[in-house]
Structure 1
Amino acid sequence: MSEIEVAQISCGSEYTGIQGEVESAAEQVGAKIIFPDIDLEEVEAAEAKFGLRVTSPDLKLMLARAISVVEGHTTADAVFIGTCFRCAEGALVRNEIRRYIHDKSGLPVISYSYTERTTADTLLTRMEALTTIAKRRSLLAREKQTGITAGIDSGSTTTKAVIMKDNEILGFGWVSSTDVLKSAEEAYSTALKESGIERDAVQATGVTGYGRFILGKAFNADLVQEEITVNSKGAVYLADRQKGAATVIDVGGMDNKAISVQDGIPGIFTMGGICAGASGRFLEMTAKRLGVDITELGKLALSGTASNISMNSYCIVFGIQSLVNSLSKGARHEDVAAAACYSVAEQVFEQQLQEVEVRAPVIMVGGTALIEGLPQAMRELLQAEVIVPPYAQLIGAVGSALLSSGFIEE
């Protein structure tokens, strides 16, 4: 396939000095950044077409460029939408353009708010996901696993591996992430042992997660792919929602992902988080402070009332301080657990779910989905169906095993 062309519709990338970082991230994944050509008359007419009046000339240009992509005057395979983190008007325009392009064109879209410190490394996974969706739609449409395959997910907190055969999970391993290779080998060996499959019987291997490039070389993997597309595929597969619309939420140990999916293929997605207070790390710290194992925190939260606890900050440091202050005043452990879960869910709702089209069912995945209080808090916030599929903690490994079966020669 020829070079993937990503239309950049943005404001402030030159002013913040990160335009070179955007182009570097695209180049690293074999993509090319293009800017839709617009004349003055189109800029002047754009506000009327959108029904949205904006002050900034650069934001008006963004509206016109979005129309150019949708109406086919600019040919692109995917779209990157970006505005400055501190610009409220930019955030409004970014969201309107994201919705407009997704609804009218069907192109994969990522929207991002950047700062002066945004780097190519920060953008790399996002750009990789855009190009994957554009290049590998037929592979991402795969609904069944065939043959004997392995999937390894090298996450920031845990490393997971699965062995699958003819659409069934035969064995899995799940260990804490320390050394990338050692953790992967331990998880993989455990999965092989549990499945009863010999290593040389595995026909294809897929890897994903933060350590995917190291593992790709070490395991001679057939599939080395970012976690946005792999995780969303694993999620809809395990939830049996491969047809129609769905929203995947993955609250990880280091960052979060929210992905709008149609027929198993991501359309709009967002990745990251403002603070670690919106991550699984905050829940781990809460469990430690309550003197319970993280696996017990969820059930504790189901018996509590979050509104009984005053949370003064989303910050992981000050958030824990709020919980400690409540405990010192005699607060019930159940209420503190519920408040911690609700705080994480609320941050994901306010910071990330505004960047995607939330369409039921909502599928919550990752290890944090097993903390029952978190999906319950999300149900309360969204007032929508929230599914936690079986093997929710293994979606990256399962998605890798499923997709890698597409590389087995018939």
Structure 2
Amino acid sequence: MDEIKIALLSCGAEYSGVYPEIEKAINKFNAKIIHPFVETSDIDDAVEEIGMDVASPDLRLMAAKAKSLVEKNADADAVFICTCFRCAEGALMRNEVRRYIAERSNIPIISYSFTERTTAATLYTRMEALTTTARRKALLAIKKQEGLTAGIDSGSTTTKAVVMQDNEIIGHGWVPTTQVIESASKAFSLALEEAGIKQNEIEAFGATGYGRLLIGENMHPNFVQEEITVNSKGAAFLADKQEGMATVIDIGGMDNKAISMMNGIPGSFTMGGICAGASGRFLEIASRRLGVSIEELGPLALKGDYRNVEMNSYCIVFGIQSLVNMLSQGAEPADVASAACHSVSEQIFEQQLQEIDIKEPVIMVGGCSLISGLVKIMEDLLRVKIIVPKDSQYIGAVGASLLASGFRR
């Protein structure tokens, strides 16, 4: 496996003690940090070209390193840009540097804001996706599923499986995630049953999601991969947008992902959030408190107006407290449902979607894409029409099955 060179463009990582954690995460995936060389005289020119004049010497150096990468003065396979989440100036420069590199090169990029408590484990999925994008471009270029393959997506709240044959989905499985292997086996069995085939007929299968490593150890799939690259392929396939630019928004049970992709391959992406308040978990709790199923939450939200309810907390605990308070004061359930959807959409808009370039079409996937009120509010915030493809909740399983066709026996 070739060693990947990751250019580190950072501010404050050394002072905060996070640098060793970044290095540990990068090294785990047979990659190494490189620091693009710049001349002191280049710094002012770079800051002027990027158009963000800042006071911090480290941020100015970041701009110069970005210019060095774009001008190919440094040999890098990928870029990791990070600043402290407390620094507003750092956040602005981080975003401008990311955009500057993305517009002038095809180097995959992660943009990230760290805290003093950021650990290597926090970064593992991000680094795995970054190195995979750099290392496996030939695999990720697959646009058509061939033969008889399957995919399992072991998510934090649900486990999904699909069986595909010659570019068509012929079987689905969907179960709550309890014990990872048990849930994966059950979802796989349901997909096989619907497809009307036996497991020994499957030519290859892939695994992704939170439980992918455990599945890899116990079920021995042909392909095990993190969800950023896999979900990009699944979204592009399901939406029939495998050519050109697109943006993927994936709101999961415990976190969310935003991916800017070209031809189904991630260019820049971000994941997670400050709190699970920006996730499907918050909406599940909200629907339960409203006395409706999660399937009914979306239509109910479409009937309400979030502006009639005060819900301004980004914390899942205080968000639910706010919801309960509004109901106790006589707020309409539809307005509360709309406020819950708006709270999640707004957090994703402010936290994740500022870290990537939004390119149309925008594709929304994952279980939360089935919540119509959430989709509508996200459309209003972005001012674009969002595509929710058929089988959008099976995105990870579809992507895993599609990519697994490159590993057929």
TM-score with structure 1 length normalisation? 0.98
Say if 1:12 and 1:83, in contact at 8 Å, map to a contact too: yes
Per the alignment, residue 332 of structure 1 pairs with: 332
Deviations 1:153-193 (A, max 9, x none): 01111111111111111111111111111111111111111
Which amino acid is the alignment partner of residue 57 of structure 1?
A: P
Per the alignment, residue 197 of structure 1 pairs with: 197
**Matches of residues 295-374 of structure 1 in structure 2 within 5 Å?**
295-374=295-374
Q: Partners in 1 of 2:37 and 2:359 — Cα distance? A: 33
Shift of 1:251: 0.7
Which secondary structure state, in structure 1, belongs to the residue aligned with residue 80 of structure 2? Answer: strand
Say if 1:66 and 1:101, in contact at 8 Å, map to a contact too: yes
Per the alignment, residue 103 of structure 2 pairs with: 103
Shifted more, 315-324 versus 381-390: the winner is 315-324
Give the 4+ runs in structure 1 shifted more than 4 A: none
Q: Partners in 1 of 2:213 and 2:312 — Cα distance? A: 40
Q: Partners in 2 of 1:186 and 1:211 — Cα distance? A: 14
Per the alignment, residue 230 of structure 1 pairs with: 230
Per the alignment, residue 116 of structure 1 pairs with: 116
Q: Partners in 2 of 1:89 and 1:304 — Cα distance? A: 37
Say if 1:312 and 1:318, in contact at 8 Å, map to a contact too: no
Deviations 1:248-267 (A, max 9, x none): 00111111100001111110
Q: Partners in 2 of 1:360 and 1:283 — Cα distance? A: 26
> Does 1:398 find its partner at 2:390?
no
Deviations 1:9-43 (A, max 9, x none): 10111111011111111111111111112222222
Q: Partners in 2 of 1:214 and 1:19 — Cα distance? A: 29
Which secondary structure state, in structure 1, belongs to the residue aligned with residue 13 of structure 2? Answer: coil
Which secondary structure state, in structure 2, belongs to the residue aligned with residue 261 of structure 1? Answer: strand
Say if 2:301 and 2:341, in contact at 8 Å, map to a contact too: yes
Shift of 1:44: 3.6
**Matches of residues 24-103 of structure 1 in structure 2 within 5 Å?**
24-103=24-103
Say if 2:153 and 2:161, in contact at 8 Å, map to a contact too: yes
Say if 2:2 and 2:135, in contact at 8 Å, map to a contact too: no
Q: Partners in 2 of 1:207 and 1:28 — Cα distance? A: 20
Deviations 1:32-70 (A, max 9, x none): 111112222222432223232110111111111111111
Deviations 1:265-312 (A, max 9, x none): 110100111111111111001101011111111111111111111113
Which amino acid is the alignment partner of residue 120 of structure 1?
A: A
Say if 1:9 and 1:81, in contact at 8 Å, map to a contact too: yes
Unaligned stretches of 5+ residues in structure 2? none
Q: Partners in 1 of 2:238 and 2:50 — Cα distance? A: 39
**Matches of residues 218-297 of structure 1 in structure 2 within 5 Å?**
218-297=218-297
Which amino acid is the alignment partner of residue 346 of structure 2?
A: E
Q: Partners in 2 of 1:334 and 1:135 — Cα distance? A: 48
What is the aligned residue count? 409
Q: Partners in 1 of 2:331 and 2:51 — Cα distance? A: 50
Q: Partners in 2 of 1:362 and 1:51 — Cα distance? A: 28
Say if 2:52 and 2:96, in contact at 8 Å, map to a contact too: no
Identity %: 62
Shifted more, 1-10 versus 65-74: the winner is 1-10
Q: Partners in 2 of 1:106 and 1:328 — Cα distance? A: 53
